[in-house]
Structure 1
Amino acid sequence: MSNLLQVRVTGILIEDEHILLVKQSVSAERGWSLPGGRVEQGETLEEAMVREMVEETGLTTKVKKLLYLCDKPDSSPSLLHITFLLERLEGEIRLPSNEFDSNPIGDVVLVPIADLPSYGFTEKFMTIVQHGFPESGSYQGLKVNIGL
């Protein structure tokens, strides 16, 4: 029996009005994404988020706050998408090895929040970030409702 629901965590790290992005094919329109990935069997959400950040960016982080819970039922399998606000504990940004990744990461950068649209993100998402994540800690329905 196939897994009917996949849980994915996404991390938002903001430093000096810049947000951390990874260059990775998301869709035809977007070649950049927020770091994150699938929660593995036996992991807590926080463990998965911390592991994904180290794997994808080289940074050790901690979860500061739950931002949003969203659904993406039109993907296969259906996704439960959980976004966290993160804080850097240590480490320097580096590229991952990508050795086991079918969708490798080509770059890891801190970009100005105001430049998010030029990286393929929606104006809606940029506005949410600029306004300090209104309604954080809540269920937002479909992922598009937060502009992702």
Structure 2
Amino acid sequence: MTGIVIEDGRILLLDQDTDGPRSWSLPGGKVEDGESLEEALVREMREETGVEVEVGRLLYVCDHTRAHVVHITFEARRVGGRMGAVEEGADTRPIRQVAFVELGDLSGLGFSETFVKLCRDGFPGAGSYMGPKSAIGL
């Protein structure tokens, strides 16, 4: 599960090693036993970015069949915390940096124009199944 926080034309990302070609990604992670989706996203956002969030609308659901993963992505709003106050050891891959990145700079970080357009347009069709991750350009 991942969270998307967009403020003033900038999106909250973290820099860490991933399974894909880019190192910058959306914050998020797995749901632990006994957690709701909302509780898991609030915890993951705090652990990975230091930001406290309020979970908003469901943006999309997509799958990554080779990895046997279903991605559920929610809109989130920053309500507190201290950006960059990453909990050491909370993630199996060290987080090098947490930053708000201009939407116009996403392509240079390996995000597709499809994903950038979705961010700029406010995720039309929010709450729907989008098919494979590649359908949203991830």
Task: Please classify the TM superposition score into its range, dividing by the shorter chain length.
Answer: over 0.9
1:64 is the counterpart of 2:56: yes
**Number of residues paired by the alignment?**
138
Alignment-derived partner of residue 14 in structure 2: 22
Larger deviation: 96-105 or 43-52? 96-105
Q: Mind listing any 5+ residue stretches in structure 2 that lack a counterpart?
A: none
SS in 2 for 1:103: coil
1:117 is the counterpart of 2:104: no
Counterpart residue identity of residue 73, structure 1: T
Alignment-derived partner of residue 3 in structure 1: none
Counterpart residue identity of residue 107, structure 1: Q
In the aligned structure 2, how far is the partner of 1:131 from the partner of 1:34?
18
In the aligned structure 2, how far is the partner of 1:67 from the partner of 1:147?
14
Q: Mind listing any 5+ residue stretches in structure 1 that lack a counterpart?
A: 1-8
Rg (Cα) greater in structure? 1
Superposed displacement of residue 28, structure 1:
5.2
Superposed displacement of residue 39, structure 1:
0.8
* 1:69-148 superposed matches below 5 A: 69-75=61-67, 78-148=68-138
What CA RMSD, in Å, does the superposition of the two structures yield over aligned residues?
A: 1.2
CA separation of 1:143 and 1:28: change in aligned 2, threshold 3 A: closer
In the aligned structure 2, how far is the partner of 1:95 from the partner of 1:105?
11
Q: Percent identity?
A: 49
Kept after mapping to 2: 8 A contact 1:95/1:106? no
So what's the TM-score if we normalise by structure 1?
Answer: 0.88
In the aligned structure 1, how far is the partner of 2:40 from the partner of 2:20?
27
Counterpart residue identity of residue 86, structure 2: P
Once superposed, which parts of structure 1, at least 4 consecutive aligned residues long, lie more than 4 Å away? none
So what's the TM-score if we normalise by structure 2?
Answer: 0.95
